[in-house]
Amino acid sequence: MSKASARQIIPDPLPGERPRMLTGDTPTGKLHLGHYVGSVRRRVELQERYESYILIANMHAFTTRSEDPAAIRADTLEIVRDYLAMGLDPSKCAIFLQTEVPAISELTYLFAMLLPFNRVMRNPTLKDEIRVKGLGENYSFGFPLYAVGQTADILAFRAHAVPVGEDQIPHIELTREVARRFNQLYCGVDPHADDAEHEKLGGVFPVPAADVGAVGRLVGTDGTNKMSKSLNNAIFISDTHKQIKKKLGQLYTGRQSMDEPGDVTNALFDYVRTFIPDPERVKELERRYAAGDDIGDGHVKMEVADAINELLEPMRERRAAYEGDDAKVIDILREGTRRANEAAEATLSRAKEAAGLRFWPRRLEIG
Ligand code: TRP
């Protein structure tokens, strides 16, 4: 495999410091179960131990949707509602707007100087996106720049861990290269230093690592493709029990009758293993399905639908508290962004100092 897939090890924080995590999403619409099991569930765990920053990449949203600012704005507030519903707690993590943290833009410009243009374009996730979205040669200058911007999103918080889905690994690899290069050029870190040692050796930036969730990829209700809003195969966390049952009803397994031995590696059983909480019950279902022991797809789907519904019920309740109340959501963002700016300004100041760009202290009034 390529260098990009070499294992990334989460570095330890300096003695006496809490480890930091930064992650985020581009606002593209409501979040679905794939987002939850792939990444958000992990963040909910990590917020207990890490100094946590959750970024809403509303500037990145403009890379492919610049003609639709109203939709981006609406999606930005929706994603906060979904985060809160899924259990991210604003007293434990700073949920913030990318566009209101100026240090991120400034670091993007600086980091763009440390990366060969060809290196940026060699990013497989960018290439995939160009292909999947049919961009051809017609993408903006800002499109590849977003990958550089993502390195700044992460490094502005001097993050150690970046909980993300598998597709983001190339971006984290680029971030690691920027961190190493900066520390070597401006902080005197030895080019042969171990990645895990950079902060201890005086580097401004830890070399951060991706922390990929247990379910890197949840299949959609079409039974084949990755769950995705645009493929119309997603269960949204705001879906009702009835909608969940209907969507699962469409999941085709090809099995004809309940006496026929079933294949427990099919998509339906991925759902069984992901969502039915009792491992004994999962084993029992697998055994009976495989044996064709009088158990139909319809029955299994009902049990899965009930389990998903139980998972989503408290989320729907939490979400309801923020429905239709933009002011409440914006207040949460504002406080999160204030905290994010404190951290990012401190990093920028250190980075400028190291690179000989700091001539006097600056004080920005933000928020
Ligand atoms: N590129 C990510 C996505 O499309 C969103 C993102 C932007 C992000 N900045 C980030 C993720 C920093 C992790 C860290 O989902």
Gap from CA of 94 to ligand 1 centroid (Å): 15
Q: What CATH number is given to the structural domain containing 270?
A: 1.10.240.10
Closest ligand 1 atom number to CA of residue 60: 7
pLDDT higher than threshold 50 for residue 289: yes
> Is the domain of 316 the same as that of 335?
no
Protein residue with least CA distance to atom 2, ligand 1: 25
Q: Domain total for the chain?
A: 2
> Is the domain of 152 the same as that of 269?
no
Q: How confident is the model at residue 216 (pLDDT cuts 50, 70, 90)?
A: low
**Would you say residue 366 lies in a domain?**
no
Gap from CA of 305 to ligand 1 centroid (Å): 30
The finding on whether 154 has its CB within 6 A of some atom of ligand 1 is yes
pLDDT higher than threshold 60 for residue 183: yes
Pick 259 or 26 by higher pLDDT. Answer: 26
pLDDT higher than threshold 70 for residue 1: no
**Would you say residue 274 lies in a domain?**
yes
Overall average pLDDT of the 287-299 stretch: 93
pTM (two decimals) = 0.91
pLDDT score recorded for residue 343: 97
> Is the domain of 306 the same as that of 333?
no
The finding on whether 164 has its CB within 6 A of some atom of ligand 1 is yes
The finding on whether 21 has its CB within 6 A of some atom of ligand 1 is no
**Residue range 41-55, pLDDT digits in tens:** 999 999 999 999 999
Q: How confident is the model at residue 180 (pLDDT cuts 50, 70, 90)?
A: very high
**Would you say residue 25 lies in a domain?**
yes
**Would you say residue 4 lies in a domain?**
no
Pick 80 or 212 by higher pLDDT. Answer: 80
Q: What CATH number is given to the structural domain containing 73?
A: 3.40.50.620
Gap from CA of 23 to ligand 1 centroid (Å): 6
Overall average pLDDT of the 133-139 stretch: 89
**Residue range 318-364, pLDDT digits in tens:** 999 999 899 999 999 999 999 999 999 999 999 999 999 999 998 88
Burial of 173: CB neighbours in 10 Å, binned 0-12, 13-18, 19+: buried
Gap from CA of 165 to ligand 1 centroid (Å): 10
Gap from CA of 163 to ligand 1 centroid (Å): 10
Amino acid identity at 77: L
Q: Determine the structural domain holding residue 137 and report its residue range.
A: 20-217+325-354
Q: How confident is the model at residue 75 (pLDDT cuts 50, 70, 90)?
A: very high
